[in-house]
Amino acid sequence: MSTSTQTAVVPARAAWSAVISAGGTLTITDLHGNQAVDFLVYDAHDTSVRYSAPDTVHAQGNIFLTTGSVLLSSEHTPLMTVTADEVGRHDTVGGACSKESNTLRYGHHTWSQHACVDNFLAEGARHGLGKRDLVSNINWYMNVPVEQDGTLGIVDGLSAPGRKLSLRAERDVLVLVSNCPQINNPCNGFDPTAVQMTITGAAA
């Protein structure tokens, strides 16, 4: 048995997707630092089974993800597990930017700006997914502290150039990624940059 490795650089503001076989590992590398990576994961054979933020947060008793966190499905079954993390915590509650949320938060002049929901819809369509299949997503590398009064902040990231995190697929999974194009808050340092995806899996 040998291992196979596939690597792709996802340009700033772009989308990416892949099917990762059970036992395979996806490593995400923040090439330039302070780049949010919006992330959704589905059972590759039944996309009605998909990442559930409430199940995941409830099971681990923490809204932040790091090494050991298990991404649970809407059926409370494991999809992927974080096996390594060089950053320390990642966001589950900040959501994906959209034309609507940009307009609400930053003004109508942002309406035409590209957003993560656009990326998810376009990339998901390649796999037969539509708007009804989008759920609350994970934001790898994004720093969203929760204040004492429950207010969410979006502040400078905790990452740095070259920092990585790795996830093991617990079943065959479909992963959708939006390399966040947001330029109105510090989640990407106001300058979106490329990230790298590396899939390592067993090959006969």
pLDDT digits (tens, 9 = 90+) for 49-102: 999 999 999 999 999 999 999 999 999 999 999 999 999 999 898 887 756 654
Q: CA nearest 66: which of 88, 49, 40?
A: 88
- Name beta bridge partners: 18: 175
pLDDT per residue as tens digits for the range 4-59: 899 999 999 999 999 999 999 999 999 999 899 999 999 999 999 999 999 999 99
pTM score of the predicted model: 0.89
Q: CA nearest 182: which of 110, 93, 91, 76?
A: 110
Pairing of the two strands 173-179 and 37-43: antiparallel
141 close to 154: Cβ distance less than 8 angstroms: no
179 close to 16: Cβ distance less than 8 angstroms: yes
Residue 131 sits at φ, ψ, to 5 deg, of -60, -35
**Segments of 77-137 assigned E as strands:** 78-85
